[in-house]
Amino acid sequence: MAVKSDLVISLKGIVNRFGQQVLHDGLDLDVKRGEVIGIVGGSGTGKSVLMRTIIGLNRQAAGTITVLGQRMDQLSDADRTRIEARWGVLFQNGALFSSLTVAENVQAPMREHTDLQPRLMDELAALKIRLSGLPADAGAKYPSQLSGGMKKRAGLARALALDPDILFLDEPTAGLDPIGAAEFDQLIRNLQRSLGLTVVMITHDLDSLVAICDRIGILIDRRIRVGTLADHLKDEHPWIKEYFHGPRARAAGIGV
């Protein structure tokens, strides 16, 4: 099961289309173990669709997806569930189950995939809640009693419930104030280091890109261009130039 391969996710020739509109056409992407990869792109270039395709919420029209050494389209349902237990997903607004408390939200994947005793499950949920930077008493609260930033942290705690190998984040810092966003970046970086996570993160936040991403994938012309920040700064593509040399990029201290 624990294949120590360096490639955690490998996409080959992914095609996604909706009606006449082609979003991805022959997209290839490799994600290495232990890296933080940021995915950027203009509106409508299919960042979220790409993430949903990898985690199986959207079926690609063509191409293959290999996660942790397993071809996703060739797996039986049971094997698929086993792979799904090894990734955690943080949706844009947390997607917490509104009828459950935060602690119950964190325990939901544990109940489904493990046979832990209730006492140990309570303790582990409390640990994840604290690791995500929430106060201890947040566990008893319902999602509607939390602020936007706290919902994201609670969503992160749930994504970490089963100690995943891979963490998918959809715009983790969107809607947070700059201080909260910087804290969240640091939190993800810390957790990534201490838990040895591989992180795939969709973001528009240039500060996050600089602060925590090892590599950046840019969705452009229906493909993805992956490289370090330094590689992209040399890129002559007009959109990429605009993106990394625009006023906001300068404010974030890149492309100067």
Q: In angstroms, what is the minimal distance from the CB of 28 to other proteins?
A: 29
Q: For residues 41 and 155, which CB has a smaller minimum distance to other proteins in the complex?
A: 155
Binding-site ranges for other proteins (CB under 8 A)? 1-2, 98-99, 101, 103, 110, 114-117, 119-120, 122-128, 130-131, 135-137, 139-140, 142-144, 160, 162-163, 190, 193-196
Q: For residues 40 and 161, which CB has a smaller minimum distance to other proteins in the complex?
A: 161
- CB contact set of 198 (below 8 Å; sequence gap of 6+): 8, 9, 31, 32, 33, 34, 35, 36, 165, 166, 167
Q: For residues 13 and 196, which CB has a smaller minimum distance to other proteins in the complex?
A: 196
Q: For residues 17 and 130, which CB has a smaller minimum distance to other proteins in the complex?
A: 130
Q: For residues 78 and 230, which CB has a smaller minimum distance to other proteins in the complex?
A: 78
Q: In angstroms, what is the minimal distance from the CB of 187 to other proteins?
A: 12
Residues 22 and 222 sit within 8 Å (Cβ to Cβ): yes
Q: In angstroms, what is the minimal distance from the CB of 148 to other proteins?
A: 13
Element (H, E) at 16: strand 7-18
- CB contact set of 160 (below 8 Å; sequence gap of 6+): 88, 128, 131, 132, 167, 191, 195
Residues 130 and 175 sit within 8 Å (Cβ to Cβ): no
Per-position DSSP letters for 31-84, written without gaps between them: EETT-EEEEE--TTS-HHHHHHHHTTSS--SEEEEEETTEEGGG--HHHHHHHH
Q: In angstroms, what is the minimal distance from the CB of 242 to other proteins?
A: 33
Q: In angstroms, what is the minimal distance from the CB of 211 to other proteins?
A: 19
